[in-house]
Chains A and B, each alone.
Chain A
Amino acid sequence: DIVLTQSPGTLSLSPGERATLSCRASQSLSNNYLAWYQQKPGQAPRLLTYDASTRATGIPDRFSGSASGTNFTLTISRLEPEDFAVYYCQQFDNSPFTFGGGTKVEIK
């Protein structure tokens, strides 16, 4: 199985600040089939990006994804109050389609 390691576990930031979330894959994703999700308490996850860097429909442009080798990054350029949540990455290069352990972005 491909293991996705997300870091940090928790990110404490203020509204307006920039958030940088990391997802490292245990092996190369040859097709960069990696997605990012946002999950708020009591809600289902919401797709933010796919193919490592393509924003899903209706996602604000403050969310951006990038890839470099086995390292994937989700950047939120300026945190809005509604962005404080848990973020997960998921890979679709190989079955099983594993998730990372999540990064919680909390208000500082």
Chain B
Amino acid sequence: QVQLQESGPGLVKSSETLALSCTVSGGSIKSHYWSWIRQPPGKGLEWIGYFHYSGSTKYNPSLQSRVTISGDTSKNQFSLRLNSVTAADTAVYYCARHFGLYAYYYGLDVWGQGTAVTVSS
């Protein structure tokens, strides 16, 4: 059974870089697309972007200038970097797997538990 676990600092200073990792266990990151999603406190979900081990990435244009998603097949991990953070980036950050082999359009079927990140001034 595939499981995802986010890790990274829970507190980031304003203007600095938020860096999170997602470790995949029970499966390989080579077989699916992988996404990051965030949810500000008390609000809805926002898709940040996806990664495929082939090197393919796609980002939400609202964040594109500040975000990088990459992967490390040797560690079976993928990571999120978000530069120049502000209080508006305070949220629970989730990593998730796209359902379906080699496809990204069937929905997100496996999610990490989420990690709360607060941006402080």
Contact = CB atoms under 8 A, between A and B. Distances in A.
10 contacts: A31-B105, A35-B106, A37-B108, A44-B94, A47-B107, A51-B106, A90-B47, A92-B106, A96-B61, A99-B44
B53 interface: no
Interface string A67-88: 0000000000000000000001
A98 interface: yes
A57 B109 CA distance: 9
Interface string B61-86: 11000000000000000000000000
B60 interface: yes
A35 B104 CA distance: 12
Contacts of A1: 61
Q: Which DSSP category, helix, strand, loop or mixed, fits chain A's interface?
A: loop
Interface string A29-55: 001010101000001111101110000
A84 B106 CA distance: 24
Smallest CB-CB A-B distances: 10 pairs: A35-B107, A50-B107, A44-B111, A92-B105, A96-B60, A33-B105, A99-B45, A97-B47, A50-B106, A47-B109
Interface residues of B, number: 24
Contacts, number: 64
Interface in B24-54: 35, 44-47, 50
A45 B47 contact: no
A92 B58 CA distance: 12
A56 B109 contact: yes
B47 A96 contact: yes
Contact of A35 (B50, B62, B108): B108
B44 A90 contact: no
Contact of B114 (A44, A49, A93): A44
